[in-house]
Amino acid sequence: MGIPIGTGFGVALGLALDNLALGIAIGACMGVSIGAALDARRGETIALEGSSSRWALVLAGIGLLVLTVVGSIAFLLIRSRM
């Protein structure tokens, strides 16, 4: 639930800073942390069974991070050539 809220704030931040991609990335990160804090406050946790599912989530997170960094760099390079 936190990701859509954080992304909405990130879009506004990105438009204000004239860098939409960076704003969305920052907003999504803020949304994940806010959502995790709210879930912890309510006592909801995700129980992962087995180490293979944990590694899958870790690899998916790393892949998403790499994709975000590469996309941001590509966006900045394309924008600087205009």
Give the N- to C-terminal CA distance of the chain in Å, as an integer.
37
Output the pTM of the full model: 0.49
Residue 47 vs residue 34, higher pLDDT: 34
Q: How far is CA 49 from CA 46, 55, 56, 60, in A?
A: 10, 11, 12, 17
Segments making up each domain of the chain, as ranges: 1-46, 47-82
pLDDT tens digit sequence for 1-24: 677 877 888 888 777 778 888 888
Contact (Cβ atoms closer than 8 angstroms) between residue 60 and residue 40:
no
